[in-house]
Amino acid sequence: MMPTKKEWIKALKERHGTKLHHKISEATVAVCGLGGLGSNIATALSRAGVGKLILIDFDKVDITNIHRQQYKVRQIGMFKTDALQENLNEINPYIETEVHTTCLDENNAAGLLAGADIICEAFDNAEAKANLVNFVLEKMPDKYIVAASGMAGIGSGNEIKTRKISKKFYVCGDEKSDVTDEVGLIASRVMICAAHQAHTVLRILAKEFEV
């Protein structure tokens, strides 16, 4: 049975309090890359009641993604944008999503990210991560950027931390475990990092800026 929007909001306010709910529900967050980090960040933010998500990825769901990303076997072959939008709408029928099935680059980034209050960097490639972070900090200084570096392997989950680098720049991860190391990406450790990112977003919205 589908809850009404009124019922939905009432449930969120019961959990988060009216003040925090308003801060969260008025926000627009962009998630750049919808893999292990991005699909988990978007799932957490949808459940928390973020008003609008801008979801950006060029790739399709692959069988090798299912072990850590928020997709289902029946979605293999779909664009991640479409598959995630479908899943998020099932979780939160009142979330607004804007999807862009494209490769984010320096020519389209300013336009696609213009409406976001906070931008999550959730790519897998190290150079792409650095490029997006540098782009946002240089060209879009009014935005917050929450990036990730280092979540591969079977190392302790306690090594994953959030570090505040400057006023609007946060990095989550252990800042060292590279995906090229022997053990690749494992659902739980990637989810810890994604949860750090999602939690940092919610704390920024709650105006809790320290880590």
Q: Which residues bind another protein (CB under 8 A)?
A: 33, 35-38, 122-127, 129-130, 133-134, 137-138, 147-152, 165-167, 169, 171, 173, 175-180, 184-185, 190
Q: Which is nearer to another protein, 13 or 143 (CB)?
A: 143
Shortest distance in whole angstroms from residue 152 CB to another protein: 4
Tokens of residue 73, six digits: 């076997």
Shortest distance in whole angstroms from residue 13 CB to another protein: 33
SS3 state of residue 32? strand
Q: Which is nearer to another protein, 51 or 150 (CB)?
A: 150
Q: Which is nearer to another protein, 16 or 129 (CB)?
A: 129
Shortest distance in whole angstroms from residue 157 CB to another protein: 15
Q: Which is nearer to another protein, 69 or 97 (CB)?
A: 69
Backbone φ and ψ of 116, nearest 5°:
-85, 145
SS3 state of residue 194? helix
Q: Which is nearer to another protein, 5 or 176 (CB)?
A: 176
**What is the rounded distance in angstroms from the CA atom of residue 197 to the CA atom of residue 48?**
13
Nearest-10 crossing angle of helices 80-91, 36-48: 30
Shortest distance in whole angstroms from residue 175 CB to another protein: 7
Measure Cα distances from 21 to 44, 56, 188 in Å: 14, 25, 28
Q: Which residues pair with 169 in a beta bridge?
A: 145, 166
Shortest distance in whole angstroms from residue 127 CB to another protein: 5
**What is the rounded distance in angstroms from the CA atom of residue 40 to the CA atom of residue 151?**
13
Q: Which is nearer to another protein, 58 or 169 (CB)?
A: 169
DSSP 89: H
**What is the rounded distance in angstroms from the CA atom of residue 124 to the CA atom of residue 102?**
15
Shortest distance in whole angstroms from residue 165 CB to another protein: 5
